[in-house]
Amino acid sequence: MQILFPANWEHYELIDCGNFEKLERFGKYVLRRPEPKAVWAKSMTETEWQKISDTTFTTGAGFNKSGKEDSGTWTGKKLPDRWTVQYGYKGLNMKLNVALTSFKHVGIFPEQAPNWNYIYDSVKLSDISKPRILNLFAYTGAASLAAKSAGADVIHLDSVRQVVGWARKNMESSGMEGIRWVVEDALRFAKREVRRGNRYSGIILDPPAYGHGVDGEKWKLDENILEMMNLCRNLLLPEKSFLLLNLYSNGFSAIVADTLVSSIFTDYREKTFGELVLCDRFGKKLPLSVFSRLRL
């Protein structure tokens, strides 16, 4: 099992974490946010946190309860509505837009950087001049940009129109073009693609624990993920292709993700699984998601 960290990212840093919070720098701004996995003590004092942070997210009463995520508020200095942070890897150069949302998210999941690198390398390994890549539950699109930058023909799908607009802005800020945007329920789209006989050189999926499609379709990870993975098996080209599954649900370990993928894809050239982790200035490791990925 692999434990992977972002490496040498000038525009992002996890400064400290503990007491169910994390202190992060995105570009020149330092944000203080809740983090339920940070069950240990902080390394810095409360006074130091207050001095360093530019803004703090305060949650509602039901925040982080199963199936529910109440909105909250940001308090502190007045920050720009949006600002960009850069990420680079080999020929990949992205400018990602950061913004403060009412659900503590800011448009970037920094621990995903190793997955962006994997996507870029996987597309580059293809012997197809413009491999087709499908990014499901694609959020603000850093994974889509990684594939596009490597030369792929990318379909970016998310059920939230505003989030797809954010992803388009990231594409434009990064000087790229040509990504196909789809606002639809992921499971419904995948079923239709199977019926059409469409195939892909790469499939990326980062499904939430709970979600809703455009027309109110319900997504529950534990109930729907097996059906989705079987659809992905039919959509993925049988040779020289790749699949990346990322999971944030606290109930799913890396071994669960790996066993799920291994039960669907039994013939592969290379397979890895593990956790994506951030490390703060004091060496504390904050695990945030699990992954399983393979190349056929």
**Average pLDDT, stretch 124-133?**
94
Q: Is the per-residue pLDDT at 29 higher than 70?
A: yes
Pairing outcome for strands 132-136 and 153-158: parallel
**Average pLDDT, stretch 159-182?**
98
Pick the CATH number of 109-295 from 3.40.190.170, 1.10.730.10, 3.40.50.720, 3.40.50.150: 3.40.50.150
Position 251 scores a pLDDT of: 82
Q: Is the per-residue pLDDT at 65 higher than 50?
A: no
Q: What is the 3-state secondary structure (H, E, C) of 166-215?
A: HHHHHHHHCCCCCCEEEECCHHHHHHHHHHHCCCECEEEECCCCEEECCC
Position 249 scores a pLDDT of: 78
Q: Is the per-residue pLDDT at 61 higher than 80?
A: no
Nearest to 75 by CA among 51, 54, 98: 54
Q: Please write the tens of the pLDDT for every residue from 98-108.
A: 999 998 999 99
Phi, psi at residue 249, to the nearest 5°?
A: -60, 130
Q: Please write the tens of the pLDDT for every residue from 185-211.
A: 999 999 999 999 999 999 999 999 999
Position 63 scores a pLDDT of: 47
**Average pLDDT, stretch 282-294?**
98
Position 264 scores a pLDDT of: 97
- DSSP result, the chain: -EEE---S-TTEEEEEEETTEEEEEETTEEEEEE-TT--S--SS-HHHHHHH-SEEEE--TTTTSTT-----EEEES---S-EEEEEEETTEEEEEEE---TTS--S--GGGHHHHHHHHHHHHH-SSSS-EEEEES-TT-HHHHHHHHTT-EEEEEES-HHHHHHHHHHHHHTT---PEEEES-HHHHHHHHHHHT--BSEEEE---SEEE-TT--EEEHHHHHHHHHHHHHHHB-SSS-EEEEEE--TT--HHHHHHHHHHH----SEEEEEEEEEE-TTS-EEEEEEEEEEE-
Q: Please write the tens of the pLDDT for every residue from 211-256.
A: 999 999 999 999 999 999 999 999 999 999 999 999 997 789 999 9
Least confident of 34-48, 62-76, 116-130, 272-286: 62-76
Percent of the chain scoring above 90 in pLDDT:
91
**Average pLDDT, stretch 279-283?**
98
**Site of tokens 């920094």:** 110
Q: Is the per-residue pLDDT at 68 higher than 80?
A: no
Q: Please write the tens of the pLDDT for every residue from 71-84.
A: 899 999 999 999 99
